[in-house]
Amino acid sequence: MIENITFLHSNWIVPIAISAIVLWCIFIWKEGSDFGKGRFWIKITIAGIAISALACIALQPALPILGKKTKVAILTTNYIEDQLDSLQKVHKRLKTVEYKANQPIFRNIHTSDTVFVLGEGIAPFDFWQLKNYEVRYIKSDAPSGVIKFRYDKKRVVGEQLYIEGIYNNPKKGNHLILEEPGGNAIDSIALLSETKQSFRLSADLKVIGNYNFSLVEKDSLGTIYARDPIPITVIDRTHLKILIVNSFPTFETKYLKNYVAENGHEVVVKSRITKGRFKFEYFNTDRIPIGAFSEKNLQPFDLVILDATTAKNLGRSSRTALTNAIKQHGLGLFIQPDEDFFRYRKDEVAFDFVKEKSTETSLGTAPKTKIAKYPFLFKDQFQLQVIHKNGTSDIVSAYKHLGKGKVSTTVLQSTYELLLNGKTTEYQQVWSEIISAIGKKESAAVSWDAHNILAIKDQSYEFTLRTAIPEPEVTTDEGYRIALRNDIDMSNLWLGKTYPKKLGWNRISVAQDTTAVLDYFVTDTSTWKAKSAYDDILRNRRHFDRASIKNTKQFSPLAPINPIGFYILFLVCIGYLWLAPKIEKE
């Protein structure tokens, strides 16, 4: 007990102690005449007590308020009664506190013992309040609803939006519906009575801009249970510049060039008509002379498509230029195969093929469509990146990295027959995937990465910024500047945090590059309830499990001991000292 006493004015200890001893010495000297008598000893003892009482009044001793044995349970939303009951059974003197976000947790309760957190946990921004306590987190069950979801919040127009997620504890008969902006239902899934149900919904992205899709849960009568926003930024397509070189005109190239040119890509086609004579076609672009490849004339192109013969018969300088363009500038190369291509020596092709009998296949994405192919398949090996797999999961088109660029080919043959058979979409799908996968990538000056898809009003929203700009200045819509923290290892990585005030779409931008903006959607806490609750549970678990490992040193609040006792003691002692000589005299 005594070791718990601390003095509130502990910095005065030395002067007070000295003056007390001096005072006592004076007193001893004053009583020196009685030295050796019994009352001398009594007097100096009492004087000593009086002086110490006086010193104590000045020093204000204090004691920790609560004893160790008081435990506290913080009750957060959806805590389980049974858990609280069991706790109370074990710890009889358990005190309970209702948790309210963003308010002091221990208003007038003080403890030095374990704190239990029950339920969905406390908000991350309140973690600091429990910093000095040993916290045990007792989680509640995951809430019913969508607890996890994932989608690309920035997509290119024409792509599909896929939203995948997990619905916890679904109610049978209800439906999850994906609605387009404006509220038109486009995809849905019926919920089953499982403990967890994963779902995947998709939508076509038809328009550029910032939009809000919504995920709606309805029961069989159409009553809406929840409507949660799915904000997405749809950006425009950037066109590629493509060079096609063929040693003789083919139907494959003819249809391919028409397809890409009609979709706005810049296409240059050079095909040999006869020895030394070429046909040059320029679509959506100006005329540029294309002779032998050089790094200079390959510079503007994002993708080069060669037929196998051309690729094989490239001159030494052309080959070097092409390889350099691929390795250093990220150019994509696609080789249109022919029968001989698969029999080239390995060092010429860079791909390994396995011979097989079938000359027809179907794509995994369109299992009913038959496509002609050469009787070969890719051998799956290290570094091979798959573009297409067929219905039986064999690789039919793939690419490999070569420096910054990519080299690709396919075993598909005469894909234009798809067009002739009226399978236009499948044809376009095949080629758009190949071209998108291997085309040169535009290096973005600024790229944003947000930790959360959704921001919540008045809560922190963290983002990272990767940019080569030396000291980026990031400002909000309102013109406030956000302070950034540079990563210690990576000079181009910056971390920032903002507190959005406006609901709906918010934008932060880099002052040095006004085109580099991050649009993020701010909601309030009424949306995605199940997910945010689930996230809180996870976050609490993570935080408090980690916190329990370190030995938390506790600081109990102190209360000064009431000085009245010291006063009385002092008065009694002084009274005795005053009275005693008078009694002795009589």
Binding span for another protein by CB under 8 A among 79-87, 102-110, 427-435, 547-555: 427-435
Q: Which two tokens stand for residue 426?
A: 């499948």
Number of residues in contact with another protein, rule: CB under 8 A? 68
* Beta carbon nearer to another protein, 9 or 502: 502
Q: Which is nearer to another protein, 360 or 442 (CB)?
A: 442
227 binds another protein (CB under 8 A): no
| Number of C-beta neighbours around residue 369 at 10 A | 18
Q: Which residues contact 145 (CB under 8 A, 6 or more apart)?
A: 167, 168, 169, 217, 226, 529, 530, 531
428 binds another protein (CB under 8 A): yes
How far apart are CB 189 and another protein at their closest, in Å? Answer: 20
* Among 556, 558, 557, 542, residue whose Cα is nearest residue 135: 542
Closest contact distance (angstroms) between CB of 160 and another protein is 9
Sheet of 454-456: strand order equals 454-456, 517-523, 504-510, 474-476, 481-482
273 binds another protein (CB under 8 A): yes
Which of 139, 423, 440, 543 touches another protein (CB under 8 A)?
A: 440
Residue type, 58: A
- Token couple for 103: 């308010």
- Integer Cα distance of 534 and 536 in angstroms: 5
Nearer to another protein, 69 or 279 (CB): 279
DSSP state, 429? Answer: H
Instruction: Tell me the three state secondary structure of residue 465.
Output: strand
Cβ nearer to another protein, comparing 471 with 545: 471
Minimum CB distance to another protein smaller for 281 or for 338? 281
Range list of β-strands (E), 491-557: 493-498, 504-510, 517-523
Which residues fall within 8 angstroms of residue 486, CB to CB, at 6 or more apart? 493, 494, 495
What's the rounded Cα separation, in Å, for the pair 231 and 503?
Answer: 12
Using CB under 8 A as the binding rule, the residues of this chain from 27 to 86 that contact another protein are none
Site track 503-522 with another protein (rule: CB under 8 A), x = hit: -xx-----------------
Of 117 and 435, CB closest to another protein: 435
Binding status of residue 466 toward another protein by CB under 8 A: yes
Q: Assess contact for 440 and 265: CB atoms under 8 A.
A: no
- Which pair of tokens denotes residue 445? 């000056």
- Tell me how far, at minimum, the Cβ of 302 lies from another protein, in Å: 6
188 binds another protein (CB under 8 A): no
User: What is the nearest approach in angstroms of another protein to the Cβ of residue 226?
Assistant: 19
Structure tokens that stand for 478 in this block: 């309102």
Q: Considering beta carbons, is residue 122 or 516 the nearer one to another protein? A: 516
Only one of the segments 4-12, 18-26, 283-291, 578-586 lies at the binding site for another protein (rule: CB under 8 A); that segment is 283-291
**Contact between 237 and another protein per CB under 8 A:** yes
Q: Minimal distance in Å, beta carbon 513 to another protein?
A: 13
Cα Rg, the chain, nearest whole Å: 39
Task: Examine residue 262 and tell whether it contacts another protein (CB under 8 A).
Answer: yes
Residue 428 CA: distances (Å) to CA of 241, 258, 259, 447, 470: 17, 11, 8, 29, 42
**Three-state SS for 202?**
strand
Asked if 267 and 300 count as a contact pair (C-beta separation under 8 A), the reply is no
Measured from the CB of residue 316, what is the shortest distance to another protein in angstroms? 22
| 11 part of the interface to another protein, by CB under 8 A | no
In angstroms, give the least distance from the CB of 277 to another protein: 5
Strand spans (E) along 287-331: 303-307
Q: Where along the sequence are the contacts to another protein (CB under 8 A)? A: 156-158, 180-184, 204, 206-212, 237-240, 258, 260-265, 273-284, 286-287, 302, 383, 401, 403-404, 424-425, 428-429, 431-436, 439-444, 447, 466, 490, 492, 504-505
